[in-house]
Chain A
C-alpha cells in the first residue's frame, strides 16, 4: 500500500509542471499586454518598453517561467500587480467558498443520482426507467446558466424562500451560509446527476446479473439489503471515477455559477484575473486548481483500492 501511495504521489510532480507550463504558454498567447493595461491612455511605445523591462516581461518565455517556478518553490507565489494582494491571501479567501460549493453540489448530485439509478436498474426497461434515462439525456443538453436563472426566479423571486445572490461566511451564520449555497449547488447538481445516474445504472444492471446476487436472493435476503449492501458497492467503481472527474468539470461549472450567484469563489477570481491580465493571480489560481484536481484523482485511486481489493493486491 505504501508503495502504491508513493508511486501515485510521484506522478503529481510532472503533472503540476506540465499544467503550470501550459498556463504560462496560454496566458502569454492571450492578446493584450500587461504593460498597456497598466499604462493605459498614456502608453507610449517608449514607456511600454521601459515598463516591460522593469517587470521582466521582455525576457524569453522559458526564462520567465523558470523565474516564476523558482519563486514558487521558495514559497513566494507573488502579488497581484493590480490590487497588491498576495496570491496566497487571495486564494485563501476564495478557495473555501468554491470547495464548499463543490462538496455540497457533488453530494446533492449523488443524492439525486443513486436512488434513481437503483430504481432504474431494478426496473430495467420499464416505463419509469425509460422516462428517467430520457430525462437524464434531456438534462445533459440544458445549460447551467439557464437552470440557474430558472431556479432564481422560482425560489428567490416568486417564492422568496432562498437568496438569489450572495454569500454569508459560515462562522458568521451557519444556517444563512448553507441557505446561500442551496441554489448554486442545486444548479451544479442538476448538471451532474444525469452522468452519475447513467453510469451507476448500467454498472448496477450488470452486477444484478451476477451469480452471487441470485445466490443472495435464493438465501432469502431482503431486496433492500441485497441492493444497498451486496450490489451497490461493487457497482460503484465507475461512479467513483466519474465523481472524481466531475470535480474537474465542477471547477469549470463554478466559474459560471459563482458569477450568476455572486459567490466570492476562486472561479470569479480566475475570470477577473484573465480580464485584467493579472497573470500572477491567474497562474496562482491555476496552480491551486491543478493541485486540487490531481489530489482528488489521487484520492479516487485510493478509494478504488478500498472498494476493490483486487486493485491493491494485484499491483503490490
Chain B
C-alpha cells in the first residue's frame, strides 16, 4: 500500500513535469542531429515520397496546416480552425493570416492550392499523388479560406494533414517556379528554420528563421543535420559528442540498451500505432487454403522472434492498430500461438506445404527469414527465402508476384487511410486478393462514423475478420527510437518515426 502511494506520487510528479511549461526553455545554441540516410531533396515531383530523413528536415523547413498535440489530436498550425460538412466530404480550413514564406512570398490559400494541384496533375506522374487520391480538389475562395473536396468521407481529416511529408509540407510556389531543377536542393517553406548550406552526403546547416510567425520561436539558433549511415559509428559520434541526437531503430538494440544505462544519454522512444505486417497471397496454392494460412500464423512465437532479432525490444503485434492507436480491442480475433495445433492443421491439409516469401536483401531480412523458416519447418511447412532489394518489394507486391510479402502499416494518427487501402476488397492495394462483404462493411462504416467508440467497434470487427481468415499476419508493433544527450529537451512524441526538433532546446 505504502509503496503504491509512492508510485502514485512519482507518477504525479512525472505528469506535472511533462505537462508544465514552468521550466524555462533556454534560447540559443546548435543542435546536431545524426540521421540514417542522405536526403535526396524536397521537390515532391522529383523525390516522390519523403523518407524519415527528409521528414525530419521538412519538420524544420516547412509547416503543415495542422499539427498533432501530445494526445495525438489535431491542433492549429498554419490553419487556425476548421469545419466539415455533414457527410464529412467537404472540409473548410481558415488559414493563419500574415504568414510569409522564407523568400518573402505571402502564404495564403492560393499557395496551398498550387502545391496540391501540382502534385495531383496526372501529367506530372508524381508518386506523391497516391497519398492524396482521396482528395478530389482544393478550392481557395479567398486569401485565408481553403476548401478540400473529398471522394470518400473522412471523419478525422485534419489529422491526415499533420505529417511533415511530401504532401502536407507547404512549399513556396514562387521558389519552386523560379528555381526549377535546382529547387529540389534549395527548399523554401514557412518553417522555423531556413537552409543555410547543404553539402550533399555530409551536412545540412539550418539557421533560425528570424521572421517565424510563432513569435519567440524557435529556441535554437541552428540545427545541423548529418547523414551517418553506419549505426555503430553513429552511436560512437553521439557518445563522443560530435552529434547531440541520433535516429535509431530496434535493430540496434544493443546500442539502445547501452544508452539507457548511460546517464549522459537519454533514449526517446514512442510506441506508435501500426505494425510490421506480412501478406498472404490468398489466390495461390497452398496459401489459398484457410487451414494452411491459419497454421502458419499459429506456428509463430513472436516473443522468441523478438528475442532472436532485437534482443527482446520489439513488441509483439496481433492486430493492425497497436498500443499507440486509439483503437483498443477487447477481442482482436488473434489466433493462438500454438505449434501443435498448427502442425495438426498442416497434416489435415494433406498435401505438401511449400511456398516462397520475399525478404529484403539485408542482414535484417535474412535474420527475419531464417527465424520464420524455422518456426514453419517445426510444423511441417517449407518456406524458401527469396531475398530481393527494397525497391523490388513494392513492385512485386503491386503485380501480386509473391506468395508472402512483408509490408508495413506505419504510425498514422488515423487508421482509416491504411486500413481502407490494405483491406478493402476493391482497393488496388488489397495485396492479399481477399474479399469479404462483412470486412468491407466494417471499413465503410468506420470511415463515416464520427464517434470514436463506434469506430473502434468497427475496426475491431475488421481485425477479427482479418485474423480469423489469416489473410495478413502481424509480427511486431511499431516502436520508434532516438537517442540523445541528456541536455536535449523539447522533442515531442516521435509520431510516424519523425524526430521533430523544431521546438527543441538545450539545457
List chain A positions with a Cβ less than 8 A from chain B: 30-33, 36-45, 47, 51, 79, 81-85, 90, 93-94, 148-149, 152-153, 156-157, 160, 163-167, 169, 259-265, 268-269, 272, 275-277
CA A31 to CA B34, docked complex, whole Å = 31
Which of chain B's residues have a CB closer than 8 A to the CB of A85?
185, 200
A42 & B237 in contact (Cβ 8 Å cutoff): no
The B35-57 residues at the A interface (CB cut-off 8 A) are: 38, 40-41, 43, 46-49
Asked if B493 is an interface residue, CB under 8 A from chain A, the answer is no
CB contact under 8 A between A262 and B230, given known A40-B394, A41-B394, A42-B129: yes
Q: Which of A30, A83, A152 contacts B185 (CB 8 A)?
A: A83
Within 8 A of A (CB), among B371-417: 388-392, 394-395, 398-399
Instruction: Tell whether B436 is near chain A: CB-to-CB under 8 Å.
Output: no
Cross-chain contact B127 with A41 (CB below 8 angstroms):
yes
User: Shortest distance in angstroms between A71's beta carbon and chain B's nearest beta carbon?
Assistant: 17
B242 & A84 in contact (Cβ 8 Å cutoff): no
User: In this complex, what residue of B is CB-closest to A267?
Assistant: B201
Beta-carbon contact of A152 and B394 below 8 Å: no
Interchain CA distance A153-B236 in the complex, whole Å: 7
Known: A93-B200, A275-B390. A83 touches B46 (CB 8 A): yes
How distant is the Cα of A157 from the Cα of B234 in the complex, in angstroms? Answer: 11
Q: Are B230 and A276 in contact (CB under 8 A)?
A: no
- Whole-angstrom distance between the alpha carbons of A131 and B233 in the complex? 32
Given contacts A42-B133, A81-B46, A149-B233, 8 further A-B contacts (CB under 8 A): A38-B125, A40-B130, A41-B398, A42-B130, A43-B395, A82-B41, A165-B226, A167-B202
A200 CB to nearest B CB, Å: 32
Contact of A163 among B49, B129, B240 (CB under 8 A): B240
27 residue pairs A–B, Cβ–Cβ below 8 Å? A31-B389, A32-B391, A33-B395, A40-B127, A40-B394, A41-B127, A42-B133, A44-B398, A45-B399, A47-B125, A51-B125, A85-B185, A93-B199, A153-B236, A156-B236, A160-B241, A164-B242, A165-B228, A165-B233, A167-B202, A262-B202, A262-B234, A264-B199, A264-B202, A265-B201, A269-B201, A276-B40
A163 x B40 contact (CB < 8 A):
no
Check B181 for interface membership: any CB of A closer than 8 A: yes
Task: Check B233 against A90 for contact (C-beta < 8 Å).
Answer: no
Q: Which residue from chain A places its CB closest to the CB of B399 in the assembled complex?
A: A45
Interface digits, B221-260 against A, CB 8 Å rule (1 contact, 0 not)?
0000011111011101101111000000000000000000
With a CB–CB cut-off of 8 A, which chain A residues contact B201?
Answer: 93-94, 263-265, 268-269, 272
Min CB gap B217→A, angstroms? 28
**Distance in Å: Cβ of A122 to nearest Cβ of chain B:** 40
Cβ contacts under 8 Å, B184 to chain A: 83-84
Residue of A nearest to B32 (CB): A166
B182 within 8 A of A: yes
Closest to A34 in B: B391
Residues of A near B41 (CB, < 8 A) are: 82-84
Q: Please measure, in the bound complex, the distance between the C-alpha atom of A32 and the C-alpha atom of B279, giving whole angstroms.
A: 20
The 6 A-B residue pairs whose C-beta atoms are closest, nearest first, are A264-B201, A40-B127, A264-B202, A42-B130, A36-B395, A84-B181
Interface centre among A44, A79, A85, A261 (most CB of B within 10 A): A85
Contacts of A261 in B (CB 8 A): 233
Contact B226–A272 (Cβ < 8 Å) = no
With contact pairs A32-B389, A47-B125, A94-B201 given, residues A268 and B229 touching in the complex (Cβ less than 8 Å): yes
Kindly state the interface size class of chain B when it binds its partner.
35 or more
Q: Which of B182-197 contact A (CB under 8 A)?
A: 182-185
- A42 and B389 contact, Cβ closer than 8 Å, known pairs A148-B233, A269-B201: no
Distance between B398 CB and nearest chain A CB, rounded to angstroms = 6
Does B236 contact A152, Cβ atoms closer than 8 Å?
Answer: yes
Contact for A259 among B133, B203, B230, CB less than 8 A: B230
Contact A166 B232 (CB under 8 A): no
- CB nearest to B179 among chain A residues: A84
In the complex, are the beta carbons of A84 and B230 less than 8 A apart?
no
Chain B residues with CB below 8 A from A32, complex form: 388-389, 391-392, 395
Residues of B within 8 A of A156 (CB): 236-237, 240, 242
Taking each of A30, A83, A160, which has the highest tally of chain B beta carbons within 10 Å of its own beta carbon?
Answer: A83
Shortest Cβ distance from B453 into chain A, in angstroms?
A: 32
A32 to B390, CA, bound (A): 9
Check B232–A260 contact: CB distance below 8 A: yes
**A41 and B429 contact, CB distance less than 8 A:** yes
Nearest CB in chain B: distance from A56 CB, A: 15
- Which B426-456 residues have a C-beta within 8 angstroms of A? 428-429
Q: Which residue of B lies closest to A31 (CB)?
A: B392
Q: A43-B395, A264-B200, A268-B38 are in contact. Are A38 and B228 (CB under 8 A)?
A: no
Residues of B within 8 A of A165 (CB): 34, 226, 228, 233-234, 236-237, 242
> A108 to B210, alpha carbons, bound, how many Å?
47
**What residues on A are CB-neighbors of B185 within 8 Å?**
83-85
Question: Smallest CB–CB gap between B238 and chain A, Å?
Answer: 9
Give which listed residue, A37, A83, A153, A166, contacts B391 with CB less than 8 A. A37
Complex: A265 Cα to B38 Cα, angstroms? 12
In the bound complex, what is the Cα–Cα distance between A47 and B394 (angstroms)? 15
CB-CB nearest in chain A for B361: A31
A260-B233 in contact (CB<8A): yes
B404 shortest CB reach to chain A, Å: 18
**Hey, which chain A residues are within 8 Å of B390, CB to CB?**
275
Check B229–A40 contact: CB distance below 8 A.
no
Residues of B within 8 A of A149 (CB): 232-233, 236
| Known A-B contacts A262-B226, A275-B389; A164 and B40 likewise in contact (beta carbons under 8 Å) | no
Tell me the chain B residues, 268-320 only, with Cβ under 8 Å from chain A.
none
Contact yes or no, B182 A31, CB < 8 A: no
The closest CB in chain B to the CB of A47 belongs to B125
Give bound CA distance, A204 to B330, whole Å: 80
Interface centre among B129, B183, B227, B233 (most CB of A within 10 A): B233
User: How far is A268 from B201 in the complex, measured between Cα atoms in Å?
Assistant: 8
A79–B228 CA distance with the chains assembled, in angstroms: 25
B398 touches A163 (CB 8 A): no
Pick from B125, B131, B227, B239: contact of A39, CB below 8 A: B125
What is the minimal beta-carbon distance from A93 to any residue of chain B, in angstroms? 6
Task: Give the shortest distance, in Å, between B78 (CB) and chain A (any CB).
Answer: 26
Q: How far is the CA of A38 from the CA of B185 in the complex (A)?
A: 18
Would you call A157 and B236 a contact (CB within 8 A)? yes
Q: Is the CB of B125 within 8 A of A36?
A: no
Residues of B within 8 A of A269 (CB): 200-201
- Residue of A with least CB distance to B391: A32
- Of all chain B residues, which has the CB nearest A45? B399
Look across to chain A and name the residue whose beta carbon is closest to the beta carbon of B125: A51
**Smallest CB–CB gap between A244 and chain B, Å?**
27
- Inter-chain CA distance A200–B430, complex, in Å, is 65
Distance to closest chain B CB from A52 (angstroms):
12
Q: Which residue of A lies closest to B41 (CB)?
A: A83
Report A-chain residues with C-beta under 8 Å of the C-beta of B131: 41
Q: Are A41 and B130 in contact (CB under 8 A)?
A: yes
Complex Cα spacing A277 to B230, Å: 21
Residues of B within 8 A of A268 (CB): 38, 201, 229
Q: Are B46 and A36 in contact (CB under 8 A)?
A: no
Q: B233 — which chain A residues lie within 8 A by C-beta?
A: 148-149, 152, 164-165, 260-262
B395 to chain A: which residues have CB within 8 Å?
32-33, 36, 43
Across-interface contacts of B40 in A (CB, < 8 A): 82-83, 276
Task: State the Cβ distance, A156 to closest chain B Cβ, in Å.
Answer: 5
B129 CB contacts on chain A under 8 angstroms: 42
